[in-house]
Structure 1
Amino acid sequence: MRGENHMMFVLFCLIVFSHFLHLVNSNPQLAPALYVFGDSLLDSGNNNLLPTAARANFKPYGVDFPGGATGRFTNGGTVADFIAEFLGLPLSPPYLSFRQLETSTGLNYASSTCGILPETGNSLGKCLNLDEQIDLFEKTVTEELPKLFKNTEGLLEYLSKSIFLVATGSNDYSGNYLQPNRYDSSRLYSPLSFAQLLTQSLSQKLERLYKLGARKVITFEIGPSGCQPANLRQHMHKNGQCVDEINNLVSLFNDQLATVLSKLTSTLPGSAFILGRDYRLTYDAIINPSTYGLTDTSDPCCTTWLNGTSACILGIAPCANPNEHFFWDGYHPTEAVYSVIASQCFNGDSVCIPTNLKMLVQI
């Protein structure tokens, strides 16, 4: 474990080269496309074009990203951006931003505040829940992609070799189950039954992706939400660096997720549903920051509304050392954290299991 932590520290030191990776991608193309689904952890700008207050298209968001404030809820790139670079692909553009599909290297359907359940996230305006994201992908497969391929066989082969990235479920807790004044889910479901509801629903949606041609799907766990500044500062009576009750809730989901993905792989021919097991990595980074080259794992790097419990305030300069911070705003990590998650998913043996991304593209 000590050797693995040393490698994490080295990866954090290498983050200074991230801008060059954004600007010049010399990696060989390992997959034909990257398709992205999920919430604000992966949203690359879809919410910019929706009637919602949940947007990140203003400074200081994007201060370390070549395109500036594109709608990513961090200072730089997301896990999806780094994975695209490792795959030798362009960054997957937000689906809602394109007028006509001219290339086949992938799209991003992720939408901030939404989740697995259709009702999650509607308090701040319109967002795309996971079913709606898959609806748009179905439109891509049936109406747009066929224009780029000579026949159905070529399209199906392309889809089978493409990588599909999913990160969702966090908002179903923070913006639903843990909001009893707005939602009744915590009165209707026990913690275990709610986790089962979410994972069973997610399983159906992942199977729908399979029926549309997806074969290589990486689905990430929910991170340690109880360690977010937003939750820490709303539970000031709690001791320690995290709110254990919230972490215990999402851990029930993560435990179920591992079983669901294993079952999908065993029952759907030719599929590989990979678990992105990032909870343990990120929790360890928060509890043992110096091991990972971090100095602050409890405060947002940017100045946020409501005493660190919300989004960045427009136009106020962030901290001078974002790569030493775990959190960018009240909820989202910095690109330094995303870089390590993506690196470990691609090269390591403890985050993306049972097969890392580098091996997955060879299957």
Structure 2
Amino acid sequence: MDEALLLFSVVVVIIAVLASLSSPSEARAFFVFGDSLVDNGNNNFLATTARADSPPYGIDTPSHQPTGRFSNGLNIPDILSEHLGAEPTLPYLSPDLQGEKLLVGANFASAGIGILNDTGIQFRLHEMGARRALVTGTGPLGCVPAELALRSLDGECDPELQRAASLFNSQLFQVLQELNSQFGADVFISANAFRMHMNYVTNPEAFGKTS
């Protein structure tokens, strides 16, 4: 179990936490923890080279300007906020995060961040009142552009890294089941980013996209 928890804590890229619900349809707050996949601008306020404050980031936003998200437009927390019927969470370093904005939640994600096992973040969040945590595993590592440039001769995803990602995600799912057993409730919900990505790439027509 200790090795599994270490794997969980070091490699998981997003923990999106909903605080306890005041009603079945209304979430009290939405908190985001993770790296560049969910960073919505915190690194704009940090002295770091991991930044998304220049083109082509943000090219599909209404302003066509970078927003600090490592994306051409919205990212995962933005989409989740839309489905919750809430406004997007602000970066925790943003000077606009004050007053009633604090009741929406906050985004603590930062590109390049890591989570160490000894922080015990998954347990401390539960003790602080978090009752739902969406945990995404790793995406298709073998398809990352940098890896394609280093390993691929024909544009195909690297099979070794793809297998590694699949092995990790299956172990992550087992860890979450064990954690839920400890808490006696479905606190941790897994999201298979690998499968979602590959479904989109291999069958874009199913998602309304044409080549």
* Percentage of identical aligned residues: 41
More strand as a share of residues: 2
Specify the alignment match of 1:115 in structure 2. 114
SS of 2:93's partner is helix
Residue 101 of structure 1, CA deviation: 2.8
Specify the alignment match of 2:66 in structure 1. 69
Q: What residue identity is the alignment partner of 1:274? A: I
Contact 1:203–1:260 (CA under 8 A) maintained in structure 2: no
| Larger relative contact order, structure 1 or 2 (CA cutoff 8 Å, min sep 6) | 2
Q: What residue identity is the alignment partner of 1:46? A: N
The match for 2:199 among 274, 277, 284 is 284
After TM superposition, the structure 1 = structure 2 runs for residues 131-150 of structure 1, keeping only pairs within 5 Å, are: none
| d(CA) in 2 for partners of 1:292, 1:94 | 30
Is the aligned partner of 1:265 residue 2:180? Answer: yes
Q: Provide structure 1 residue ranges, at least 5 long, that are not aligned to the other structure.
A: 1-28, 118-200, 297-363
More helix as a share of residues: 1
Q: Deviations over 1:79-110 (max 9, x none)?
A: 11011011111100000113663120110001
| d(CA) in 2 for partners of 1:208, 1:271 | 16
| d(CA) in 1 for partners of 2:160, 2:167 | 11
Q: Provide structure 2 residue ranges, at least 5 long, that are not aligned to the other structure.
A: 1-24
What is the TM-score normalised by the length of structure 1? Answer: 0.47
Q: What residue identity is the alignment partner of 1:33? A: A
Contact 2:91–2:97 (CA under 8 A) maintained in structure 1: no
Is the aligned partner of 1:241 residue 2:156? Answer: yes
Specify the alignment match of 1:43 in structure 2. 39
Change (3 A) 1:240 1:73: closer
| d(CA) in 1 for partners of 2:143, 2:205 | 17
Is the aligned partner of 1:209 residue 2:205? Answer: no
- Alpha carbon RMSD of aligned pairs, Å? 2.3
Residue 209 of structure 1, CA deviation: 1.3
| d(CA) in 1 for partners of 2:138, 2:118 | 13
Change (3 A) 1:100 1:274: closer
Specify the alignment match of 1:230 in structure 2. 146
Contact 1:241–1:287 (CA under 8 A) maintained in structure 2: no
SS of 1:80's partner is helix
Larger Rg: 1
Q: What residue identity is the alignment partner of 2:190? A: L
| d(CA) in 2 for partners of 1:50, 1:91 | 21
Change (3 A) 1:99 1:278: closer
Is the aligned partner of 1:96 residue 2:93? Answer: yes
Number of aligned residues: 184
What is the TM-score normalised by the length of structure 2? Answer: 0.78
Residue 205 of structure 1, CA deviation: 2.3
